[in-house]
Amino acid sequence: MNIIDSIKMSVLTPIHPAGIPFIVLFFFLTIIIGWFWSPLYFLGFTLTAWCVYFFRNPPRVTPVYLGSNKNNLIISPADGKVIEISQIIPAQEIGLPEGKWTRVCIFMNVFDVHVNRSPMLGQITYKKYIPGSFFNASLDKASAENERLILNMETENGKKIAFVQIAGLVARRIICDVDIGSQIKAGEVFGLIRFGSRVDVYFPSDVSVMILKGQKMIAGETIIGDFSKKSKSVKENLDEK
């Protein structure tokens, strides 16, 4: 599907509420500047259409296990490309217990859907906003130096995971609609980042990794990991795939 087809579909796609003020602003600026010089109408309406496209919030169908295996799947919180899968010892600011955890980093460019969705069903137990720089979000140092918002979740099965919204070179605003104590479902919208940005997901190192570096992710649909399957190591999982 090309960009034109995506824009056509976005007309019928729900818009995240955070985008409405920007869409209205772009529209009225278009009317004003076009009044003085009509060729600017084309530029203004193009930018307005792009704004509608950027803040789209398409419906997603979140996969779940049934029966006793319910809520074992970790679902992608963001659209975009997987730029890193690694085992690391998280910084203290992440709020996770000491030890090695698997980290999956998902980079969103300006054409990806920027609405973020919960990776699992559970309760938010930790929330921390950290001001910082605005380096390109695809760089490794972005995890430690860029503006970011950290959320920890205790899942319905008593597991712990963390996910981090990270601002990028263009992104200057992180929106998070949940707080400590919030109960959210897998695939439920919890926030948004404007405009290019990244989301990191942390989960136990023995959880099976179901994706590959470079893979395209769909928020609320792509399965990242599976608590019901043991993983010997991230490297072995990648070699098997």
Q: What is the gyration radius of the CA atoms in the chain, in angstroms?
A: 19
Q: For residue 200, which of 90, 111, 57 has the smallest C-alpha distance?
A: 90
Catalytic (active site) residue 38:
no
Beta carbons within 10 angstroms of residue 150's beta carbon: 23
Checking DSSP bridges between strand 216-217 and strand 160-167, what pairing results, if any? Answer: unpaired
Annotated catalytic residue within 138, 197, 208, 231: 197
Q: What are phi and psi of 216, to 5 degrees?
A: -85, 130
Q: Are the C-beta atoms of 120 and 186 separated by less than 8 Å?
A: yes
φ/ψ bin of 26: left (φ > 0), alpha (ψ from -120 to 50), beta (otherwise):
alpha
Q: What are phi and psi of 151, to 5 degrees?
A: -125, 135
Q: Specify the 3-state DSSP secondary structure of 44.
A: helix
Which residues are identified as catalytic? 197
